[in-house]
Structures are given as C-alpha cells and as structure tokens.
Homo-oligomer: A and B are copies of this chain.
Amino acid sequence: MKNRKGPLRGGPRFAYDGLNRVIHERARLSLLTSLMTHSKGLTFAELKAFCALTDGNLNRHLQVLEEARLVTVTKNHSGGRTQTRCRISAAGRKRYLEYLAVLEQVIVDGAAGAKQDPRPSMSRGSAPA
C-alpha cells in the first residue's frame, strides 16, 4: 500500500514492513526458530527449555501463534498425563522464511553501516553537502 517514492532519498528504505509483528516478538521468534529446526515438533517441556520461557509466557505466545495459524498444538492424553506437542505449520514455515529474508536485509544494511566511520569530524574537512 505504501508509496515507495524514489526521489526522497529512497523512500521508506528502512521500514522493513516484512518484519511481521506476530513473528518478530522475541519469544515467538525463539519458538518458531526452535520449531523450524525440529520438523517433528517439540513438546511443551522441550520448548520451555529451548526458549527459556515460563509456563505462562509459553502458553500465551503459543496461543498467539496458533491463532495466526503458524503452529499447530496437539494434546495427547495417556496414563493420566497430557502431553502437548507443537509443530510449525506449512503456512508458518512459509511466513517464517519470508520474515527471515527481511531479517537478512536488516543485517546487510546494518553491516554496511558498521563499515562507515562513525566520526563525522573525519569528513568535515572536505566540506560534505
């Protein structure tokens, strides 16, 4: 929807619209990355350990991801215990990879900035525009 004009020094060059808020939140990024690398899924306990989340936070973020259809959560009842197993969905994989591509652009941009001399005094002598 955004009007990406060229003249104004590149338009919203650094807006990173693709950094989907559902995925970008740190705990959820952590959960989705765990699930991306474990294609057979992970239990609630495993996710807690991998992502260093409390029960409450894990439940809350899984609910957000499930509502966005990025993960599936299945509960198995056996021997009086309930095991919760989470997997990233096909749509979740797709959206995660799209997100990752934007993240790569952030790194490319940030790394380009890192190569610049942070001290403006260096170029003052040559009267920049």
Pair B114/A97 contact, Cβ less than 8 Å: yes
Interchain CB contact under 8 A, A39 and B118: yes
Contact with B along A82-122 (1 / 0, CB 8 A): 00000010100100110010011011011111101111100
Inter-subunit contact B117/A39 (CB<8 Å): yes
Q: Is the CB of A40 within 8 A of B123?
A: yes
Interface SS of chain A:
helix
Smallest distance from the beta carbon of A44 to chain B beta carbons, Å?
13
Complex CA–CA separation, A82 to B60 (angstroms): 45
By a CB distance below 8 angstroms, the chain B residues around A90 are: 118
User: Do B29 and A19 touch (CB < 8 A)?
Assistant: yes
Q: Is the beta-carbon distance between B14 and A50 smaller than 8 angstroms?
A: yes
- A-B pairs, 9 with minimum CB distance: A36-B113, A12-B52, A37-B113, A15-B52, A14-B34, A39-B116, A19-B26, A14-B50, A40-B120
Listed by A's residue number, 14 A-B pairs whose Cβ atoms lie within 8 Å are: A9-B50, A12-B50, A13-B34, A14-B37, A19-B26, A35-B113, A36-B109, A36-B116, A37-B113, A37-B116, A40-B120, A41-B120, A97-B110, A100-B114
